Each structure stands twice: as C-alpha cells, then as structure tokens.
Amino acid sequence: MKKLISLLLILVVFSSCLAFSEGSVSAAPAEILKGMSTEQKVAQVLMPAFYYRQDEEGKKVGVQEIYPEMEEILRKYGFGGIIFNLQNAQENEKAVRLVDAVQTANASVPGRPQLITCTDQEGGYVSRLGQGTMMPGSMALGAVNDLDLTQESGRLIGEEVTAIGYSGTFGPVMDVNNNPANPVIGIRSFGDNPEQVARQGVAFLKGLHEAGSLSTLKHFPGHGDTDTDSHTGLPCINKTYEELKQLELIPFQAGIDAGADMVMTAHIVYPKVETGTYISKETGEEIGLPATLSRTILTDILRGDMGFKGLIVSDAMNMDAIAKHFDPLDTAKLSIEAGVNLILRPVDTSTPEGLAALEKYIQEVAALADDGLISMEALDKAVLEVLTFKEAHGMLTPYDGGDIEERVAKAVATVGSFEHHEFEFEIGLQAVTLLKNNGMLPLDMNENLAILVPYESEVKSAIYAVGRLQDEEHPLLEGLEIPVYFISAMTMGDLKKVAQETKQLILVSVAYSADDINPDTKAGANTALLDMIIRLAHAAGNKAAVISAHLPYDAAHFADTADAIVVAYGARGMNEDPREKDGNVAQYGANIPAALYQMLSAGESVGKLPISIPKLDENGKFTDEILYPNAVADPR
C-alpha cells in the first residue's frame, strides 16, 4: 500500500510537470494554458491566505515560516497568488524568508508561473508590515493636500512592500467616504469629494509604481456610501449606474487611466445596476448579487465601459457578506463567469481540515467546469488574463530569489527605517487640523496640564510626543512634567480629581463608528466619560481640548463643549518607544504624537478638513446640516 501511494504521488507530480512543460517558460500564455489541466486552471485563479496554522498543541498561531503541510499544497497546486497579512510579517527577516520559501515551493514544478504576492499595506489604519512604516493614512494625506507628498508616501510604502518580496499592495483605496456613518472605510479614504479622492489616489498609485510595486484600486465600484460593513453583513447601495458615474466611479476611472494594475471588487449589492438574484443560504430569502459576482458590473462596466485591462481581484470570500449567504461553489461559478481573475481567500486554511477543504474546493470547482456547470470559456479567459499579466510583469520566468541574505539585509535596512519614520511624522504634523479654538490654544505653559488617553498603547504615543520635544530641548517644555493618564485604569475618584485640579486637559477621543460617538449607547461609553470630564473641568474653571484621533466625525459631538478640537486622522498607538530601540521597531501610529507635538509646541496646524462633518440630532444621529465643511480645494 505504501509503495502504491508513493507511486501515485510520483505520477501526480510527474503529470504536473508534463502539463506545464508543454507551455514552457518561453511559451506564450495561450500555449501554457493549452497544457494545463482543469485543476491547474482553477488553482491559477485562486489567491489563498496562510495567516494561521495549528501548532503541536492545537493552538492557533501566526504563520511566520513555511510548514510541511503548507509547502506540500504549494508544491501540488500552482496558485495564481498568495495574500500575506500581519501574522506573516511580524518581523522583517522572517517575512522575507517566508516569501522566498513560498515562491520556492511553488517553483518546484518546472515551468510553473511565479506567484503574485500581495498584502494590504494601504498605509494608516490598514497596515500589514509588523516592523514597517504605517504612514498617517489616506485621510491624513487628504488633509495635507500635497500631491507630491502623497506620491512620496506611496513610493515609500511601495519600497517597503517590495523589500519584503511582495509583488505589490492592495491599495490605494478609491472609495469616496461620503457617508459619515460608514463603518468600514472612514479614514481609509482620502476624502468625501470624488475629484479630490481621484487626485490623491492617482498620486499614491504613481508612487507605488515608482517603487516597482503593483497597485490595486479598491473597492469597486465603491464602498464609501454604505452603513454596513461587508465583513459582517451584505451592504446595499440603491444608486443607478448614472448616479455611480457622477460620484463613486470618478476615482476608479482616474486610477484606470493612470495605469492601475489590479482592481479589487466590493461585496455590495447594487440592485439598480445588477438585477440578478440568489436565494440566501442563511435566510432563505431572495437577495441581490453583489458586485463581486456581477457580470454586469465587472465585465460590462469595468472592462467594457471603463476600459480596464488589468486583473480583477475579489475581496476576501470568507467575509460574511459572501460566506453567510452564498454556497462556496456558487461563488466560484458566479465570480469566474462575472469576470474575476483572482478569487481571494476562498477557504479558511488555518487548520488541517481547512487545507483539506482547499484541495476539495479546487477539485470540485474543476469538476463543475469539466461538466459544463461552470463555463470553461470563462475559466480559460480568466486564466489567460492572469498568465498574460504575469508575462507582462516578468512572472513567467523561473523564480530566482537571488542572495537571500542580501535581501534580508536590505529589508531590515529599508522597512521601518529611521528616514521613513521621520517622513511619516512630518506628514502627521502637516495633517493636524484645528477645527475649533475657544481661547485654549496655544497652551499656557505657566499653568498645569495633563493628557488623558482611552487605550493603553496610546500612553506611549503621548510620552513619545513629550519626549521628542524634550529631546529637541523645546523651550516651552523646559523643566515641565506632563502627566499622561490611561483613563480605563483610573478610578472615578482619580478622574474627578484630575479634571478638577488640572487647568488644561488634553483628551483623546477615539471613534471607530457612528455608535462610538453616541454617549447613550454601550459603544459610546468612552464618549460619555469624556463628556463627564469636560463638565467637571468646566465646573472648576478649567479648560479641555479634544483630539479627534480616528474618525473626525466625533468632532460634531464635542463642538459645543470642548474648548478646542484638533483632528489627527489615526488612533493607532505604540507598543515600543522608537527612541529606546536600536533597529527595527514595531509599527506605530504617528498621528496622535504629531497632534500632541503641535499642541505642546504651539505649532501652527495647517491641515485642512478633507470631509464634511454634519451636525448631530438629539439622538446622536447625523443630520443633513453641515457643521464643519470640507475645506480642501485645489491641491498644493
């Protein structure tokens, strides 16, 4: 039996070699396609992830190096690509070696095309390089409104991504965040004006290309006007095609015209554009087909009307918008026939059962294609487009990782370098936006002051800002000690004492959703706490400034109470003080330190609000009345 199994494995590998040898590395994509089995075709339109695995004790751990079962499936199937995440890139050296091992395992079959390797390094809130430079993010760049700096930000991100060994990144985000209740885009967008987003997105894209990184526009045809997160539900946008052309599609068209390499789809239903329906496996009700599964949106509009020639990548298929409602084999059929080239994360691979499920998925999708239940013509077209793309980007040649030690040294020197972090901090400073000042700024350094933050990691952010100014021997901070408090670790008595005895309070507000802004909801507990602190401070004759650290829309809540409001556009904290470590430091957010640095140094805030902030009604809901209008005009 063992001999028989060994013989079968040899035959599988040998047949794989034969299939690819007919279309050798020098052959045209069409010839390679002719030599592929149906299973190889299916694998070539998949982009799985290997974020986690089970260790010897059955615990879930991040994948930082290739393991036998993972290597086996990479050798057996020639996937179109692999997506990497933070779990795969905790440390620069390990991340480089992992990418090299993955490409090497894939290259075990002679003539097999290289893998497209990508990660979600948008900059800001969505950053996947554990020791990389986050940058302040898209909305912060929108507030700076300098296209040269946006391009440089994209270039530095592209430089770090390619130093690790990735083909590119899933960015820029071209969604127009024109719905303040949007729970998933927010500060990931450059703003709420389509022309403004188009300019910024194209500049960022140019920077990526300058660094040799592939670019990906997302989330087509637009995720900015939703109030549902597609990770947890199925959003719906009731706009006609003509309405989309007037807003959502403007940035995408600009990005396509600028030479975008890939476009990522949105798991959003547009019932006035795509009329196809499906019976939800969760509810049994008829639902609309989302853009990811819509031939009308992906082939007729994106390919036909908008002229996109690159690769279409689905958003992750394990997101609830898809996984809860659609059978996996149906999503394969619908997405391939809609025009998707790479199906992202079709199966959870974090367990041995998950790896087996990925193999079963490939086999069952291939069987459906062989039986005519999935259009073989559509599958061949998808594969041919992937192979043609790979040919254009040098991925049909045999993988050659070069000197791995040299690559590791380059990544360690490049990713999260001092120079990149200094640029990041400068962008953070220029993004800081002053919305309100009722005589509190500049701060009076003859009066005591304190900083209060809602998350423990932000304590280090505040200490870093103070320490940086002290290291620079800023005259305003000479001899001063500025206490930093972690609100959640304080008793109510201590909070009251600080509020009543501190003449100047700087409060950090972090809102990730509209619910976080409303103090009457469970999610708004931190907002309610800040309200109490402000009331106590005012009752004692003290003043309180609020830093809107994440979504700027919380400024509407504090408009009538805070003595000053400053917007930072990113709430990520620090786990390590970069001043205390020699070498690669864990990624951290520059936004809060930059805002505090400006306030403590009496610096001028030059950032302009790149979105409009509406007023709130008595129930904490957004109204149609604008409180703080979009202040960005023409780019600098």
Spatial separation of the C-alpha atoms in residues 365 and 334, rounded to whole Å = 11
Give me 236's structure tokens.
Answer: 């719906």
The yes-or-no answer on residue 471 being catalytic is no
Q: Which residue has the tokens 């389509």?
A: 194
Q: Which residue has the tokens 């990144």?
A: 169
DSSP 8-state class, residue 300? I
Give me 368's structure tokens.
Answer: 């459906």
Give me 40's structure tokens.
Answer: 């190889």
Residue 541 CB contacts under 8 Å (≥ 6 apart), including other chains:
none
User: Of the residues 225, 315, 554, 563, which is catalytic?
Assistant: 315
Q: What is the 3-state secondary structure (H, E, C) of 233-256?
A: CCCECCCCHHHHHHCCHHHHHHHH
**Other beta carbons less than 10 A from residue 108's beta carbon:** 16
Closest CA to 593 of 576, 562, 570, 611: 570
SS3 state of residue 458: helix
Closest CA to 94 of 129, 69, 120: 129
Spatial separation of the C-alpha atoms in residues 187 and 175, rounded to whole Å = 10
Q: Which residue has the tokens 């497209």?
A: 116
Spatial separation of the C-alpha atoms in residues 228 and 388, rounded to whole Å = 36
DSSP per-residue letters across 317-341: TTSHHHHTTS-HHHHHHHHHHHT-S
User: Is residue 540 within 8 Å of 500, Cβ to Cβ?
Assistant: yes
Residue type at 550 in one-letter notation: H
User: Of the residues 146, 227, 229, 231, which is catalytic?
Assistant: 231
Buried b (16+ CB within 10 A) or exposed e, 240-269: ebebbbebbbbbbbbbbebebbbbbbbbbb
Residue 56 CB contacts under 8 Å (≥ 6 apart), including other chains:
none
The yes-or-no answer on residue 315 being catalytic is yes
Spatial separation of the C-alpha atoms in residues 23 and 30, rounded to whole Å = 8
Positions annotated as catalytic residues are 231, 315
